[in-house]
Amino acid sequence: DIQMTQSPSSLSASVGDRVTITCRASQGIRNDLGWYQQKPGKAPKRLIYAASSLQSGVPSRFSGSGSGTEFTLTISSLQPEDFATYYCLQHNSYPPTWTFGQGTKVEIK
């Protein structure tokens, strides 16, 4: 089974800061990775798919990069509405399985 290791588990940052979150896969996963944002009491919302493609309607300050085993989500200039928990999600087609990272809680400094 593929394991996804996400870091850090939490971070404190200020509005305007550049924030980077990393996910490492236990084996190569090509670009079968997405990034999700979850706010309290809400369902997760996809930000990035196929490792680096921006979901329609998502602000351009969010970007994803990487392939193979190491992936990064970057928020170029943190905004007040970005304080949330972020998850990476690796997906397989056959069998249809998903693996989440442990999550990164982004808090206000």
Partner 1 sequence: EVQLVESGGGLVQPGRSLRLSCAASGFTFDDYAMHWVRQAPGKGLEWVSGISWNSGSIGYADSVKGRFTISRDNAKNSLYLQMNSLRAEDTALYYCAKEGLWGQGTLVTVSS
Q: Which residues bind partner 1 (CB under 8 A)?
A: 34, 36, 38, 43-46, 49, 55, 85, 87, 89, 91-100, 102-103
Distance CA 88, CA 82 (A): 16
Least distance to partner 1 from the beta carbon of 7, Å? Answer: 14
* Nearest to partner 1 of 20, 38 (CB atom): 38
Edge-first strand order for the sheet with 19-25 is: 4-7, 19-25, 70-75, 62-67
Least distance to partner 1 from the beta carbon of 16, Å? Answer: 28
Least distance to partner 1 from the beta carbon of 1, Å? Answer: 8
Do 86 and 34 contact (CB within 8 A), yes or no?
Answer: no
* Nearest to partner 1 of 16, 41 (CB atom): 41
* Nearest to partner 1 of 82, 104 (CB atom): 104
Distance CA 11, CA 91 (A): 26
* Nearest to partner 1 of 17, 67 (CB atom): 67
Least distance to partner 1 from the beta carbon of 92, Å? Answer: 8
**CB hemisphere CA count around 96 (13 angstroms):** 0
Distance CA 75, CA 81 (A): 12
